[in-house]
Structure 1
Amino acid sequence: MKKYIYLLLSAVALIMTACGEETIGQTPLENIAPGQVYDVNVENVPGGANITYKLPKDADLLYVKAEYQLKDGGEWLNTRASLYTDTLKLEGFGDTEEHRVRLISVDRSQNESEPVLVTINPKTPPVFAIFETLELKEDFGGIRYTWENETMANICLHILKKNKAGEYTAMDDLYTKRKQGEGQYLGLPALESDFAVYITDRWDNASDTLKATLTPIFEMQIPYSDIKPYNMLGDTPSEYSWLVDYLFDDKYAPGSGAGYHTETFSGPWPHRITFKVMTGKVKCSRIKIWHRDQYYYRHGNVKKFELLGANDPDPNGGEEGWTSIGIFDSYKPSGLPGTSTTNEDMEYIEQGENFSIPADVESYQYYRMKFLESWSGSKFVHLMEIQLFGCPENYVPEYPDEEEEEFKP
């Protein structure tokens, strides 16, 4: 009996040893190298190249790879394309110099062909082209920066500010691929300061740094306690106990309470609400709205609205006495259709949406919002909160001697 047990254990040990020595992965079937790609063409593009070719006739061809370095002496990278395509897309180059690329066919036995050598000359990398369009200027309560990204490359804009020690320190990073871009950094005192912006991509290519000495234009948030609904004939009734009052209650975080909701069957556009600054006229610099969080870019969330101001409005609710301040469109950075969104879309909308007002607008005590369109095209509209920014008439701001701690309203 012991003899049989010993033989059984020995057999198990041999099996386990054999299993432990097995090669992980596919066992090569043969060692014949596949043919090379041919009729190769190069299309140089910003920061890279698109290489097209014809495939060899090998029945067991698996893929084609390109081996290259982003810079001389750098790490060798490779990009693969399956046998179902005839194009390799190379990107990440940080210059416009010549680069040698090796094109290699690989079969199912992992045999590799002799390389086909091609030369590419990438066009100006996106970070440098975008930098040439970059502008930095003062804004109400902060700074504004704009850029053009024709290739819609994934980039990061780094915003810096010089501190008291004379060193530039990071304030914010904005990751984006917007074609026509605009960013803001708000909540800054109206003090002359040195700011800077530069651009990077995921391959660590970096642009030069744009620097500017700017003085943010004074603005303040008009206190919620100073703003009251001013219901007029022709204003759109609310529904579901979501009242205009809740637009000025400082409750806009997800799940924090109710906002404003028009009647579901409100009739044709536009819908409108009116509110009053109880302390007097305000020269408005921007308005910020917080959308209903369960329905970003859809349902009854506001897509387009008009803001109007008045100091002597028609008591019967008519249009007489009202001046259009501007028509504003809610923005989806990705531009994707329907309810499709990206992380950038969500990050943008979750922070509340700012709408800047031209600097030459007059001061008003009464404000009216006309809702012109919802994201879904439905005939109703809803939103969570409104914040009004600007400067009360005859208000003299106090400018601190030293920099105050910054915040983002």
Structure 2
Amino acid sequence: MIRSNLSIWLSITVLLLLISSCDDNEVKRTNSDDTIPPSPVTSVEYKPLFGGARFFYTLPKDEDLLHIEASYTNDKNKTYSFSSSYFVDSLDVYGFGDTASHEVQIYAVDRAGNKSEPVSINVTPLEPAISRVGKSLEVKPAFNSFFVDWKNELEQSINIYVDFSFTQNGEKKEFTSVFSSNLPEERRFVENLKLNSDEPVSVKIRVADIYDNITEPIDMGNVSLLTDVKIPKSEWYLPPANDSMGGVPQAFGNGLEGRLRYLIDDIIDRGDNLNFMHTHSRGRTGDPDDGNMPWNVIIDLGAEYKLSRIVTHQRHSGGINNVNRGQYYRYENVGIYEMYVWDEDNSEWVYVTEHMIPVPDGLSELEFVKKGEAGDQAYMYPDDPKFTKPTRYFRYRATKGFSANYTREDANCLSEITLFGQKVQ
């Protein structure tokens, strides 16, 4: 029995050595001795794509074939190359900035890096992504800002260059903001413009891709911005927990270290100051039997205002050094909320809008802290910025937390609510 097992192991060892030897010889042959290029692809056809082309072909029968490569040189003398494994029979090429004819060279490449003779194909692509995005651009005025909407159904990586200028105190000023995205729909803001409504902003936009193509400036005309101010909190009042208005109870926020009054003190939670409300999982009324969410924060503004936007701050609890993400965009914080204003004429709450706080992607711990400390802004009417009807009472209705992709009703905390608008004279 022992001899039999020993014989088997010896046989396996010899076989492995032979395979290894063969593999070594093959590697040496294909990586050092082989200078013979593979045969070119044949029967090449293409299908036009938006800003590109998809090539179909018959592979050569060379045993050491590695991949198929295609390349072209644009009018700026820059060459782009694309490759596809020999396991597939097609190859996509992108980056054409127009619908003119372009020459593409297709090669077969072996394991030693040898290239076949090129097969030259002239292709006429469909409309490129940059011009399609350019046609979808919209610019709308907002409060002390304006925003740009666009569609990118091809989801290609693009850069949007927003060139804007205005004259202030007799001096012309020019700026450029750059936004990058590959999302199918996008909205980006140009913010913090301290301009009056009679100081219009001239806007032109260029759309570029990663292949060195860029549109001519697209004139979006002049934009007259809307103006608002931060509403002072000195006159604000928060009714006690479970006091109702229009059938809606005030939230309970005094659980653990939290206090409801911290929401309107202009101090945000930075992890070491414990400045937040906490529902202790009984936020609706303070009675555990009534559950946690949705809970409502009702604010008496002290006077009538037309509201324009809101900035909210989350609980941080990220440690005394204030460099860790902590709870930002995570558990216990509010991820989705609704806004209402009180209609005095009809004695009822009027729905304004719902807002989902987006979770930033790809940030470092410190960047999360900076983003969280800046707060999350939302417009009362995000698609058509304007003021609400005059109201003295505002309601913030928290409906979901961030957990499990905004599906859980486990938000206990909120640090600060700040409102913007104009006082009704």
Normalised-by-shorter TM-score class: 0.7 to 0.9
Alignment of 1:202-221 (within 5 A): 202-207=210-215, 208-221=217-230
The offset of 1:211, in angstroms, is: 3.2
Worse-matched range after superposition: 360-369 or 47-56: 47-56
The offset of 1:264, in angstroms, is: 3.1
Q: How far apart in 2 are the matches of 1:163 and 1:322? A: 40
| Contact 1:300 1:378 (8 Å CA) reproduced | no
| Contact 2:203 2:223 (8 Å CA) reproduced | no
The offset of 1:230, in angstroms, is: 3.0
Aligned with 1:302 (options 325, 334, 337): 334
What amino acid is aligned across from residue 262 of structure 1 in structure 2? T
| Contact 1:144 1:183 (8 Å CA) reproduced | yes
Structure 1 residues 152 and 246, CA, compared in 2 at 3 Å: closer, same or farther? farther
TM-score, scaled relative to structure 1: 0.76
Number of matched residues? 355
The offset of 1:253, in angstroms, is: 7.6
Structure 1 residues 331 and 106, CA, compared in 2 at 3 Å: closer, same or farther? same
TM-score, scaled relative to structure 2: 0.73
Match of 1:8 in 2: none
Structure 1 residues 100 and 166, CA, compared in 2 at 3 Å: closer, same or farther? farther
| Contact 2:252 2:282 (8 Å CA) reproduced | no
Match of 2:295 in 1: 271
Structure 1 residues 166 and 177, CA, compared in 2 at 3 Å: closer, same or farther? farther
Report whether the alignment pairs 1:182 with 2:206: no
Q: Over residues 256-279 of structure 1, what are the superposed CA-to-partner deviations in whole Å (9 max), with x where a residue is unaligned?
A: 74333332365263221122213x
Match of 2:240 in 1: 231
What amino acid is aligned across from residue 409 of structure 2 in structure 1? K
Q: How far apart in 2 are the matches of 1:92 and 1:250? A: 50
Which gives a bigger RCO, structure 1 or 2 (Cα 8 Å, sep 6+)?
Answer: 1
Structure 1 residues 118 and 370, CA, compared in 2 at 3 Å: closer, same or farther? same
Q: How far apart in 2 are the matches of 1:240 and 1:52? A: 66
User: SS at the partner of 1:227?
Assistant: coil
Report whether the alignment pairs 1:195 with 2:202: yes
Match of 2:80 in 1: 77
What amino acid is aligned across from residue 293 of structure 2 in structure 1? W
What amino acid is aligned across from residue 35 of structure 2 in structure 1? N
Taking only aligned residues, the RMSD between alpha carbons, in angstroms, comes to 3.2
Percent of aligned pairs sharing the same letter: 24
> Tell me, which stretches of 5 or more residues in structure 2 are unaligned?
1-29, 243-248, 284-290, 316-324
Q: How far apart in 2 are the matches of 1:159 and 1:31? A: 51
Match of 1:354 in 2: 377
Q: How far apart in 2 are the matches of 1:192 and 1:106? A: 61
The offset of 1:163, in angstroms, is: 4.3
Structure 1 residues 343 and 151, CA, compared in 2 at 3 Å: closer, same or farther? farther
What amino acid is aligned across from residue 58 of structure 1 in structure 2? D
Structure 1 residues 95 and 349, CA, compared in 2 at 3 Å: closer, same or farther? farther
Q: How far apart in 2 are the matches of 1:215 and 1:362? A: 21
Q: How far apart in 1 are the matches of 2:294 and 2:339? A: 12
| Contact 1:48 1:92 (8 Å CA) reproduced | yes
Worse-matched range after superposition: 280-289 or 344-353: 344-353
| Contact 1:69 1:76 (8 Å CA) reproduced | yes
What amino acid is aligned across from residue 303 of structure 1 in structure 2? G
The offset of 1:52, in angstroms, is: 3.6
User: SS at the partner of 1:192?
Assistant: coil
Alignment of 1:38-49 (within 5 A): 38-49=42-53
Q: How far apart in 1 are the matches of 2:176 and 2:265? A: 29
Match of 2:261 in 1: 245
What amino acid is aligned across from residue 275 of structure 1 in structure 2? I
| Contact 2:141 2:225 (8 Å CA) reproduced | yes
